[in-house]
């Protein structure tokens, strides 16, 4: 069974490559990890009154294209 799945994945990836795509893998924080939520909260609170953060958020809001969003 494992070889069949492996072969299907291999064919699928070959098809994607043939259509001009390439595989990119990235590492992201594991939100299931113990302490993740607390660290997010800590970082958010630390930026709450940061004037530079406020300026950046305002700039992003000004350039954001939200047309058509519900």
Which two tokens mark 61?
A: 């809001």
pLDDT in tens, 5-63: 999 999 999 999 999 999 999 999 999 999 999 999 999 999 999 999 999 999 999 99
Distance, in Å, from the CA atom of 21 to the CA atom of 42, rounded to the nearest integer, reads 38
Per-residue pLDDT, 58:
94
Report yes or no on whether pTM surpasses 0.75.
no
- List the one residue out of 31, 28, 26 whose CA is nearest residue 41: 31
The pLDDT confidence band at residue 1, using thresholds 50, 70 and 90, is: low
Distance, in Å, from the CA atom of 55 to the CA atom of 26, rounded to the nearest integer, reads 29
Per-residue pLDDT, 6:
93
End-to-end CA distance of the chain: 44
Q: 3-class DSSP state for residue 66? A: coil
């Amino acid at each position: 069974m494992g070889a069949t799945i492996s072969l299907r994945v291999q064919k699928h990836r070959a098809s994607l490559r043939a259509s001009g795509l390439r595989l990119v893998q990235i590492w992201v924080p594991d939100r299931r990890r113990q302490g993740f939520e607390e660290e997010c909260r800590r970082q958010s609170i630390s930026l709450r009154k940061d004037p530079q953060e406020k300026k950046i958020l305002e700039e992003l809001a000004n350039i954001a294209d939200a047309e058509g969003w519900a």
